[in-house]
């Protein structure tokens, strides 16, 4: 059931993005304007710049694409967390991952809201949703470092880091859409 729900969410996001573009062709300079200031240029190019939808996107479309690929990534991480909870035998890690599952669900909801508000050009509201969603992932990440008991390495530490990178890309893309005075 969770798989059907995630596929439905991804399909809706894809359709919204498809209808959001104004037909401008994204040139490499446009993609570079978002990826160069990001934390990890290669990551940005591989995840956002190489997305097939980026070829026909304007700045607004690139913001939507960056949010969309982030939401998809978060859903994939949720699927991974679910599997890890059932595979791992360590009760401390299972408990922390169960809490992370809740954090990631809230993060997904906030990134989806960011997509909706970006679609409506409500950029400051979109930024707030990105911050809240990123903070939920940070809560998960910190749980492995600050909780009492042994401090095992989080099995999703790399996923957390990638969400932080995505968030930076989204913030850059949204900021470029805000009219400057």
Crossing angle of helices 157-177 and 59-87, in 10° steps, is 160
pLDDT over 70 (residue 19): no
Residue 105 sits at the vertex; the CA angle it makes with 178 and 85, to the nearest 5 degrees, is 145
pLDDT over 50 (residue 20): no
pLDDT over 80 (residue 23): no
Dmax (CA) for the chain in angstroms is: 56
pLDDT digits (tens, 9 = 90+) for 118-131: 999 999 999 999 99
Instruction: Please report, rounded to a whole number, the percentage of residues in the chain having pLDDT higher than 70.
Output: 83
- What distances in angstroms separate CA 16 from CA 12, 78, 90, 119, one per listed residue? 6, 22, 41, 8
- Say how far apart CA 105 and CA 121 lie, in whole Å: 24
**Cβ(162)–Cβ(140) below 8 Å:** no
- Say how far apart CA 54 and CA 20 lie, in whole Å: 12
Sign of the Cα torsion 167, 106, 62, 6 reads positive
Altogether, the residues listed in the chain come to a count of: 181
Residue 162 token pair: 């990638």
- Say how far apart CA 74 and CA 6 lie, in whole Å: 10
Position 64 scores a pLDDT of 98
pLDDT digits (tens, 9 = 90+) for 34-58: 999 999 999 999 999 999 999 999 9
Position 147 scores a pLDDT of 66
Of 37, 10, 33, the residue nearest 177 (C-alpha):
33
- Reported confidence tier of residue 10, pLDDT bands at 50, 70, 90: low
CATH domain 2-177 topology: Butyryl-CoA Dehydrogenase, subunit A; domain 3 (1.20.140)
pLDDT digits (tens, 9 = 90+) for 127-181: 999 999 999 999 999 988 876 766 678 999 999 999 999 999 999 999 999 998 8
Mean predicted lDDT score pLDDT of the chain? 89
- Reported confidence tier of residue 102, pLDDT bands at 50, 70, 90: very high
- Say how far apart CA 1 and CA 21 lie, in whole Å: 31
- Say how far apart CA 11 and CA 7 lie, in whole Å: 6
């Amino acid at each position: 059931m969770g798989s059907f729900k995630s596929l439905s969410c991804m399909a809706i996001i894809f359709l919204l993005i498809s209808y959001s573009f104004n037909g401008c062709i994204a040139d490499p300079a446009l993609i570079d304007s978002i990826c160069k200031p990001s934390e990890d240029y290669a990551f940005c190019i591989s995840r956002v710049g190489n997305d097939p939808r980026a070829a026909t996107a304007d700045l607004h479309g690139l913001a939507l694409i960056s949010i969309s690929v982030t939401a998809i990534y978060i859903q994939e991480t949720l699927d991974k967390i679910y599997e890890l909870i059932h595979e791992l035998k360590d009760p401390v890690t299972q408990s922390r991952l169960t809490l992370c599952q809740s954090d990631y669900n809230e993060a997904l909801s906030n990134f989806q809201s960011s997509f909706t508000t970006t679609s409506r050009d409500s950029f400051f509201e979109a930024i707030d949703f990105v911050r809240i969603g990123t903070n939920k992932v940070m809560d998960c990440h910190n749980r492995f470092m600050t909780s009492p008991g042994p401090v095992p390495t989080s099995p999703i530490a790399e996923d957390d880091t990638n969400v932080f990178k995505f968030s930076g890309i989204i913030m850059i893309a949204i900021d470029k859409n805000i009219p400057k005075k």
